[in-house]
Amino acid sequence: MPDISKINALDIGSVSKVDGLAKASILDIDGVAVPLVAPPLDTYTSAIAAYSVRLLRTAYTGVAMRVRRDTAGGTGDDDEADIAFDSGVISLDSAISNASAGVTATTLGQFLNVGTVGGTTYTNPDSLSGTASCFVDEWKDQSGNANHASQATFASQPQIHSGTVNTDLITENGKPAVLFDGTDDTLTRSTSDSITGFVSLFTVGTSDNLAPILPNNARSLFSIDTTVTNGQRRANIIWNAGAGTNYYHYTSVYGANNQIASATVDTQYLHSSIFDTVGNESDGAIDGGTLVNFSGTINTMSNYDILVGTSSAAENWSGYIQEIIAYKLDQDTNRSGIETNLNSYFSIF
CATH code of 208's domain: 2.60.120.200
Looking at the fold, whether 305 and 229 belong to one and the same domain comes out as yes
In which band, very low, low, confident or very high, does the pLDDT at 16 lie, cut at 50, 70 and 90?
Answer: very low
The pLDDT of residue 34 is 43
Mean pLDDT (the chain, rounded)? 87
pLDDT higher than 50, residue 23: no
Domain count, the chain: 2
Mapped onto helix, strand or coil, the DSSP state of residue 74 is coil
Looking at the fold, whether 191 and 126 belong to one and the same domain comes out as no
In tens, the pLDDT along 277-322 reads 888 888 999 999 999 988 877 888 889 999 999 988 788 999 999 9
Looking at the fold, whether 113 and 234 belong to one and the same domain comes out as no
Share of the chain above pLDDT 90, in %: 66
Looking at the fold, whether 301 and 199 belong to one and the same domain comes out as yes
Is 305 within the bounds of a domain? yes
The pLDDT of residue 82 is 98
- Its domain, for residue 275, covers 187-346
How many whole angstroms separate alpha carbon 347 and alpha carbon 349?
6
Looking at the fold, whether 298 and 172 belong to one and the same domain comes out as no
Looking at the fold, whether 116 and 249 belong to one and the same domain comes out as no
Looking at the fold, whether 71 and 133 belong to one and the same domain comes out as yes
Is 158 within the bounds of a domain? yes
In tens, the pLDDT along 244-278 reads 667 888 887 766 667 888 999 999 999 999 998 88
Looking at the fold, whether 161 and 220 belong to one and the same domain comes out as no
Looking at the fold, whether 164 and 244 belong to one and the same domain comes out as no
Looking at the fold, whether 210 and 240 belong to one and the same domain comes out as yes
Mean pLDDT to the nearest integer, 163-180: 98
Is 28 within the bounds of a domain? no
Report which DSSP code applies to 2. -
Is 233 within the bounds of a domain? yes
What is the value of pTM for the model shown? 0.89
Neighbours of 336 (CB within 10 A): 12
Within 13 A of 49's CA, how many CA atoms are on the CB side? 29
CA distance readout (Å), 79 to 66, 76, 343: 11, 6, 35
| Amino acid, res. 257 | N
pLDDT higher than 70, residue 14: no
How many whole angstroms separate alpha carbon 129 and alpha carbon 149?
31
The pLDDT of residue 2 is 42
Looking at the fold, whether 245 and 331 belong to one and the same domain comes out as yes
